[in-house]
Amino acid sequence: MLLGYCYKLRPNHHQSEKIDEWINLLRATYNWSLRDRIDTYYQRYCCGQYCDLQTKAVITPLVCLIGGASGEPWRENGKKRSPVEIQITNLPSLKKARPWYKDIDSTVLQQNLKQLNTAFDNFFKGRGFPKFKNRSRFRSFTYSMGVKLKGNKIYLPKLGWMKFYNSRPIPDGFKIKSVTVRKKADGYYVSLRIEDKSIPAFPVKNLEEIQTITGLDMGLGKLVYCSDKSAIDNPKFATNKTAKRLQKIRQRRVSRKNKYSKNKQKAQQRLSRFQHKIAVKREAYQWQTAKKIVDKSDSIAVEDLQISNMIKRCKPKYDEKTGRFLKNGQSAKRALNRLIADASWYSLTQKIEYMAAKSGKIVLRVNPRCTSQQCSVCHHIDPANREGEKFLCMNCGHIDDANFQASLNIKNKAINQYQLNIKNRTSSKKKCGDKVGRDLPEPKQLTLFETPTNELTLDKRKHHYARMSKRSEPGNLLRQLDLFDQENNPRNSATL
C-alpha cells in the first residue's frame, strides 16, 4: 500500500535560505537540460528523413535520438543510453565546472533530471511539450534516499535536522520511498511517500456488488446537486464580495510599486498569502464535501466534463467590410469562467475518487451530453425544456429544478451504461422502530361534538411552548427565575 503524508516544516533562517538557493540552482539545471535535449535532437537528424520534436513526424531509427542529450550515448557493454542517463552521467563534470552544485545532494540532482524525462514521456503520450520553468513554476525538489524521522524532527541530507508539525504519526511498518520539499506562500512543506508491501491496496467493489448509486451534477449556485434531492452549498471562497474586494486592493498595491523593488516583493507576498489562504479553505471544504458524498451510497456517478474547454476564450468575430472586431460575449463569459475556476470541479472529483477508493467504492463517469435537457419521467430531450434553473418538459409537463433533473439523468445513464442491478429502496424492509414522516399515521379528523383528548393536543402544546420560549426545547419558562422565585414555583412544589 502506498500513502502520502504532508507536513509543514519549521526550518531556521540558515536552512530556509539554503532551500531557496537549491531551488534556484535546480531550476537553472532543469532549463539548461531542456535546452540541451532540444538542441542535441536537432543536431542528430538525417537530412531528408527526420522527426520534428514539436509535431512528432517521422523518426529516423539510426541517428535520431528522441529528445537526445549531449554526451556519450554508448555504454561500455555496447548498449545505448537513454537521454536521462546521459545527463545523469554528466553530473560529476557539472560539479567540477560549477563547484557550488556540490552543496546539493546527488539524489536531488538526479530526481530533477528524471522529472524532465517524465515531462518528455508525457509529451509523447499526447500531452503538452515541456516548458521552461520560471520562479513561480519551479518551487520543489525531491529526495530518493537518506531521509530519517525521529519524533517531530526530520533529517534531510545536506540540510540537517529540521523540525516539523507532526500533525499525524506515520503508521507502523511503513517505509519512506521519497520525500519532496515544497515552498509555498506561507512557508515550506514536506510530502512523504510511504509504502508497506505487506498491506494490500484498497479493495475495489465490482459492478455486480453495487446496490445503490448517487448521481452528481456540478453547479455554481450550489456546488453539487445530488439525485436524492439534496444539495451542497457553494461558499465561493474567491468570488464573494469580500474576497474580490480584498484581492483587488492587494493587486492594486502590487501594480503601484516600483519594478524589482523590495516593497513590490513584500506586496506580492501579501497577495500570495491571501490567495493561498483561499486555496486552503477551498481544499478543506472539498474534503468534507467528498466525505459526505461518498457516505451516501455504494457508487457515485459524475459527468466526464472537459473543464479546460469550458473556460476557453470565445472565438473572435470581426467585420469583413471594416476589418474591426465585433462583440463575441467574452466579457460576459469572463465572470462565468471565474466561477467555474473557483468551484474547482476537477479537484473535487479527484477527492471524491480518492475517498471512494479508500472506502472500497467506485466512481462512474458518464457522457454529459443532454443531461440537463432530458426529462427523467418521459425521457424527452428538447433544449426548450430548460430555462435557466427551471425545468418544464414540453412533452409531459413535468416540472422540477433543472440541476436535480440533471443529477437524475446522470444516475440513469450510469445504470444503463454499466448495466447495474440497483436495489429498489421502496421494496426494502424497514427496520423496527425506524419511522419516516410518510409512515406516521394521519391526524384524526374530529366530528362536530367530539372532545379532543390529550393525545391529540400534545403536539399542539409542544409546538406552542417551543414557539413562545427563547430556546428550542419545549416547556421552558419565558423568563429566568431567581432562587426565591423557584421556591414559589408551582412546578417545583408539585414535584416535591
Please report the pLDDT score of residue 110 as a whole number: 96
Q: What is the mean pLDDT of residues 381-386?
A: 90
Q: What is the mean pLDDT of residues 46-71?
A: 52
* Cα–Cα distance for residue pair 413/365, rounded to 1 Å: 9
Q: Which residue has the higher pLDDT, 111 or 468?
A: 111
Tell me the pLDDT band of 447, cut-offs 50, 70 and 90.
low
Strands 299-303 and 213-218, bridge-based pairing: parallel
Please report the pLDDT score of residue 95 as a whole number: 93
Residues whose CB falls within 8 Å of the CB of residue 223, separated by 6 or more in sequence, listed in order: 232, 233, 234, 235, 289, 343, 348
Look at 134-138, 203-207, 409-413, 469-473 and tell me which has the smallest mean pLDDT. Answer: 469-473
Q: What is the mean pLDDT of residues 459-473?
A: 47
Q: What is the mean pLDDT of residues 73-80?
A: 79
User: Would the pLDDT of 425 be above 80?
Assistant: no
* C-alpha distance from residue 325 to each of 115, 318, 337 (Å): 43, 4, 22
Please report the pLDDT score of residue 41 as a whole number: 73
Grid cell locating 75:
555504454
* Cα–Cα distance for residue pair 174/4, rounded to 1 Å: 11
Q: What is the mean pLDDT of residues 20-40?
A: 93
* Cα–Cα distance for residue pair 403/401, rounded to 1 Å: 6
Computed over its alpha carbons, how large is the radius of gyration of the chain?
32
| Mean pLDDT score across all residues of the chain | 83
Q: What does pTM read for this prediction?
A: 0.77
CB atoms within 10 A of CB 149: 16
Residues whose CB falls within 8 Å of the CB of residue 172, separated by 6 or more in sequence, listed in order: none
Instruction: Say which DSSP state 473 is in.
Output: S
CB atoms within 10 A of CB 392: 15
User: Would the pLDDT of 480 be above 50?
Assistant: no
Please report the pLDDT score of residue 442 as a whole number: 52
Tell me the pLDDT band of 204, cut-offs 50, 70 and 90.
confident
Q: What angle do CA 56, 60, 65 make, to 5 degrees?
A: 80
User: Would the pLDDT of 463 be above 90?
Assistant: no
Strands ordered across the beta sheet of 386-387: 386-387, 390-392, 399-401
Look at 203-217, 355-369, 449-463 and tell me which has the smallest mean pLDDT. Answer: 449-463
Please report the pLDDT score of residue 471 as a whole number: 42
278 close to 237: Cβ distance less than 8 angstroms: yes
Please report the pLDDT score of residue 55 as a whole number: 55
Q: What is the mean pLDDT of residues 72-84?
A: 81
Instruction: Say which DSSP state 297 is in.
Output: -
Helix axes 262-294, 345-358, angle to 10 degrees: 50
Please report the pLDDT score of residue 124 as a whole number: 84
Please report the pLDDT score of residue 439 as a whole number: 44
Please report the pLDDT score of residue 448 as a whole number: 57
Q: What is the mean pLDDT of residues 406-418?
A: 93
Virtual torsion, Cα 277, 281, 284, 290, nearest 10 deg: -140
